Every structure is written in structure tokens, then in C-alpha cells.
Amino acid sequence: MKYFLYARKSTEDEERQIMSIEAQLAELADFAKRENIEIAETFIESKSAKKPGREVFNNMISAIQASEEPVGIIAWHPDRLARNSVDGGQIIYLIDTGLVVSLRFPTFWFEPTPQGLFMLQVAFGQSKYYSDNLSENVKRGQRQKLRRGEWPGLAPYGYINNAKTRNVDIDPVKAKIVKLAFKEFGDGKHTLSSLSERLSEFGAVGRTGKPLCVAVMAKMLRKKAYIGVIDRKGESYEGNYEPIVSLSDFEAVQKALAVKAKPRKTKKGHNFPFVGLLSCGECGAAITAQYAHGHGGTYIYYRCTKRLGPCAQKYIGSNALIEQLKGRLEKIALKDEWAKYMLDEVAKWEKEEKFDGKEFAQNLEMKSLETENKLSKLVDEYLEGNIEKEIYLKKKDELIKTKTDLNKKRSDFGRKGNNWIEPLRNFIIEANRVGTAALLNDFIAIKSFVKRNGTNRRLLGRKVGWDWKKEFEFLSEFKEKLGEEISKLAPEGREQNLNFLERSLMSGCGELNPVYTHPMGAYYRHTPPRGSYCLYYYKNDNFSRIKRGGRHVFHTLRTPKSALAFAAKLLPFSCPR
């Protein structure tokens, strides 16, 4: 009688349980030699037996059914043959029909008798029980890991598994690649395909060594793991590990992915740098671009797509659009000399400033506790059946994101203290670089800057317009007012009075009083009660006052550049409150 040898290991991963197959084959070969068993064919498989559908096992069953004579099966243990009721039932049925007349195991006795079949069924049942029980234990452990905020599985790209903490740590090299991917995609510098090519330059490739496919890139950019949120089966959990990406960068990427979800089909070779930047000010449709031939050449012009209905807006030539964009950017661009001085001032503040953050930290703590209470109430309402599961999952996801963001702010504040320094430095650098981009006709940089810092971007009546963020609006208004005052001066007096005008506007001394013509006279006046200070700036023909909490301040603005630097320090985004 011939025998079929069957050996199986539970995992398909070649690096795990690699000796299991070799050990089974060696033991079964010795067993067959001792028992004078002739092995006609060997079946080897790396597949879990928990569910039916093993290809090699099914091939063995087919070979048994096709055999003209009864056969026997040799295996290490019954659990190698089956851990589910379907496969176990097939083996027992083949024994009942006489197609299998012998089962031989080095560790288990079997004879084709009612008692032997009963014991075989018990062995299969125990194997299934072990598999089911192991599954429940693993699931219970995974749920507990999720409650503790530990990553339950193989670390995502940018992290590495820590065997000691059973959590994930940041990979210092790959985390930088992930940050770069989110930053550049959120700024609109790449499509999914071009971003894949970009990351391949840093070694982020697939198993074959080729750039990551578009689907993998989209999946990576949608992973909440990078903001410290664990997403499992549609439910969000707060992660107890350091996030790589900020919540603002993550949400910017999600908006960009939503826009690119159904990309407009375009012909290759077109170079329309400002497509996707503006919307029609009349109907709200997108602004597109196309070529036009005439007057002995080919020209580019931008127009409304009119996809949302009739629209009376006319086209605008590419050159006219570029001039308007550059004109608006020049109003907020900082000269190299000013930017250098301001950055030097920021460097000094970074070393000297001792920021009292008790109130700020307490505010974060209160918001965190408030979010925790909301989350607890939400769970109670769900358990009592007062809200539906879909609403519960959606609201929980929002609260988990909020809590994670607050925890990151608390962590950053604890490490950095005066964390307004870096945003201020970035603001100065951006305001300086955009002037260079306009001068060099770097249209990609211009588009990226306007998308980041301008809202309600529109084209109406062949005029480009948008609303600046607060810090750039402040710069624009200051430079505009400075230009108005300079134009009022006689040509011969403009040069000598230019510095004074800048000091006057920035210091709060709105009047042109000769007493303050000397640089030492342009100063910041402290008038409010003790414990607060303010900044005057010109707006809507009135000097407005911005109040900030802090210590007693008396600041001498010796130059126009220091005046602007001090004003920038108190911009809305830079001073924690």
C-alpha cells in the first residue's frame, strides 16, 4: 500500500517557523523507515489550517479520490491535516468510503475502527478548539494593546517595532521621508506618481526595487498612524507613541487627496502653472487654461470653465495674470536686509526670552480634560443605546484626533517652552523667499505660497484677489500705509524722512511730531495697567491696539527694521495665549 506524506507549517512567512517543515520531514522519514512505510508522494504546504481552502491539501484529496487503490496518509499529528471542521470531515469521510485505509502519526495512534474514528474526531476537535482559543486570546491581547495605545502589529513605514516596550519607535531616517512626503504633497508640489518617484530617490521603494505604486502612496498618505491615532476596523484609538506628522499637515494632505481623487484628464505636455489656484468670482467654477493662436504666435490665457452654469466673466492673458500675482506678492515681500535683521532679532529672543507658560499649559490641560470627559460621555451614551454606531464612531474619531493634537501641543510646549519662535522664523523666511520667487518667475513656488497663505482665491473682472492670513495681511497693510505717507512728501524730503515714517507707523507715534524725528525718540509707549502690554498698528484710518498678557515692557525701536521685528513678534499666530 502506498502512502501520501503531508507536512505543513502555519505561516506563509519564510522567515518564521522555517525549521518546522524540515523537522517534520526528518522525523517522518525516520518513522517511515522504522515502520517499513512506502511513501509514494510528498505534499508540503505553508498555510494556516484554520480555514478551508488550502491548495496543496486539496490537491492531495483529489489525488486520493483519483487513485485506483486505497491509500494511507502519514503526518506528524492530526492537527497538521486539519484545524477546521470541513477539512477534518473530508478526512473522516474518505475513511468511511474506504479511499483512505490508514492514517499513521509518530505521536498519535489510529485504526479505522469506530473507536479509532471517534479518537480521530476528538483529535480534530481539540485542534479546532486550540485554534479558536488561540484566536480569542490574540484578539483579547490586541484589544488590550489598543486600550494602552500600543501599536498592534508590524510597524508602519517610518516607525520600528520595539520588542522591549511592545510598541513602536520613530525611525530617524524613514520618519524624515514621511514628513517630506506629507509636506510636499500638502503644498501641491506633487501628484501621487511624482511623489513616488521623489521618495524613490531616498530609498523608499517596493520589494522589487521599483518606486511605490500610486495605490500604496495614497494608502500611506491616508494613514492616521502618523498623527498618533490607531485606526482599527473603523474605530479610532489614541496612540501612546510619538506622531511624525502634525494634524494640520495631515488634514492638508487629505484635502489634496480629495481634490485629486478624480483628476481631470489633460493632454501631456501642457504647462499651465496656475491651474487649480483660482476659482471664478462670479459662479464659483474652477479657472482653467488653454492655448490660443493669433497675432503671429501662440498664447496662454485663463478663463472660467463655466461648469456650474452660464458665466459672463472674460478670459485673462497669462502675462497679465502673472503681473497681478507678482504685484500682490510684492506688497508682502520682505527685503533681504530686513529679513536678515529680523532673523537676528529672533535668534536673540530664542536665547534670552523666558516665557511664562503656566497659563498656556493650564489652558491645554483644561481642554484635554474637557475632551476626555466628552469622550467618556460619548461611550456611556453609546453603551446605553442612545446613539447609533455610525454616529458614535464618527464622533469618537473627531475627539481622538483633538485629544492627540492637544497631547502633542503639551509635549511640544514642555520640550520647547517658547514655541512661538519657530512659526515666527518661518513667517519671516517665507515673506523673504516669496520676493525672490516673484523676481525669478518661479511659478511653482508662487502657486504653492499663495495656496498656503491665501484663502478665497478668485478671479473676477480680470482681477486676481484673495484674503491673506493675518500675519501677511498685517505686512500688506503696513507697507501700503508706508507707501501712502511717502507719496505725500516732497521728492527732496522723501529720503531723509523715510526712516522716520517707518518708525512712526510701527511705534504707535502716529503724529508727525518733530520731537520724535531722532531714532531714539521712536519708542514703544507703555500705557496700560501693569502686567500687560500692547502694540499699535494702523488700520481703517485709526490706530488699533492689540493687547497681550505679559510683563512690564518698555522697548526702544532704534531702527525701522527693529520696529518691524518687534511688531512681528506680537503677530496673532506667534504669541501663545
Q: Return the domain boundaries, the chain.
A: 2-144, 159-322, 356-417, 469-577
pLDDT at 574 over 70: no
Over residues 165-182, the mean pLDDT reads 91
With bands split at pLDDT 50, 70 and 90, how would you rate the model's confidence at 520? very low
Report which secondary-structure segment, H or E, holds 77.
none
pLDDT tens digit string along 345-401? 888 877 765 555 566 667 778 888 888 888 888 888 887 788 888 888 888 888 888
Contact 535, 545 (CB under 8 A): yes
Q: Which long-range contacts (CB under 8 A, 24 or more apart) does 85-91 make?
A: 85/124, 85/128, 86/52, 87/49, 87/52, 87/54, 87/57, 88/121, 88/124, 88/127, 88/128, 90/61, 91/120, 91/124
- At residue 124, the pLDDT reads 83
Over residues 546-560, the mean pLDDT reads 34
Question: Rounded distance, CA 411 to CA 406, Å?
Answer: 9
- At residue 566, the pLDDT reads 45
Contact 247, 235 (CB under 8 A): no
- The contacts of residue 283 (CB under 8 Å, 6+ apart) are 304, 306, 308, 309, 310, 311, 313
- At residue 15, the pLDDT reads 45
Question: Rounded distance, CA 258 to CA 218, Å?
Answer: 11
| CA distance readout (Å), 109 to 1, 42, 126, 136 | 19, 21, 15, 30
- At residue 111, the pLDDT reads 80
- At residue 226, the pLDDT reads 93
With bands split at pLDDT 50, 70 and 90, how would you rate the model's confidence at 573? very low
pLDDT at 173 over 70: yes
Closest-CA residue to 506 (of 562, 577, 466): 562
Q: Which of 143-157, 168-182, 354-368, 515-529 has the lowest mean pLDDT?
A: 515-529
With bands split at pLDDT 50, 70 and 90, how would you rate the model's confidence at 559? very low
Question: Rounded distance, CA 526 to CA 385, Å?
Answer: 59
Contact 515, 372 (CB under 8 A): no
pLDDT at 541 over 60: no
- At residue 357, the pLDDT reads 55
- At residue 560, the pLDDT reads 40
- At residue 490, the pLDDT reads 52
pLDDT tens digit string along 322-334? 999 999 998 888 8
- At residue 510, the pLDDT reads 40
Cell reading at 56: 496543496
- Top pLDDT among 44 and 270 is at 44
pLDDT at 262 over 70: no
Residue 70 burial by Cβ neighbours in a 10 Å radius (0-12, 13-18, 19+): middle
pLDDT at 497 over 90: no
pLDDT at 77 over 80: yes
- At residue 288, the pLDDT reads 92
Question: Rounded distance, CA 337 to CA 339, Å?
Answer: 6
Which letter, b or e, does each residue of 110-144 get, where b requires 16 or more Cβ atoms within 10 Å of its Cβ?
Answer: beeeeeeeebbeebbeebbeebeeeeeeeeeeeee
- At residue 569, the pLDDT reads 44
Percentage, residues of the chain above pLDDT 90: 21
Question: Rounded distance, CA 323 to CA 464, Å?
Answer: 10
Question: Rounded distance, CA 187 to CA 513, Å?
Answer: 47
Say what the alpha-carbon torsion angle 478, 481, 482, 484 is, to the nearest 10 degrees: 160
With bands split at pLDDT 50, 70 and 90, how would you rate the model's confidence at 302? very high
Give the three-state DSSP class for 524.
strand
- At residue 352, the pLDDT reads 66
Residue 14 burial by Cβ neighbours in a 10 Å radius (0-12, 13-18, 19+): exposed
**CATH assignment, 2-144:** 3.40.50.1390
pLDDT tens digit string along 460-475? 999 999 999 888 888 8
pLDDT at 224 over 80: yes
Contact 360, 413 (CB under 8 A): yes
pLDDT at 161 over 80: yes
- At residue 165, the pLDDT reads 87
Percentage, residues of the chain above pLDDT 70: 76
pTM as predicted: 0.46
What is the second-level CATH architecture of the domain 159-322? Alpha-Beta Complex (3.90)
Contact 499, 519 (CB under 8 A): yes
- At residue 412, the pLDDT reads 65
- At residue 189, the pLDDT reads 82
pLDDT at 452 over 50: yes
- At residue 267, the pLDDT reads 53
With bands split at pLDDT 50, 70 and 90, how would you rate the model's confidence at 492? low
Give the three-state DSSP class for 292.
strand
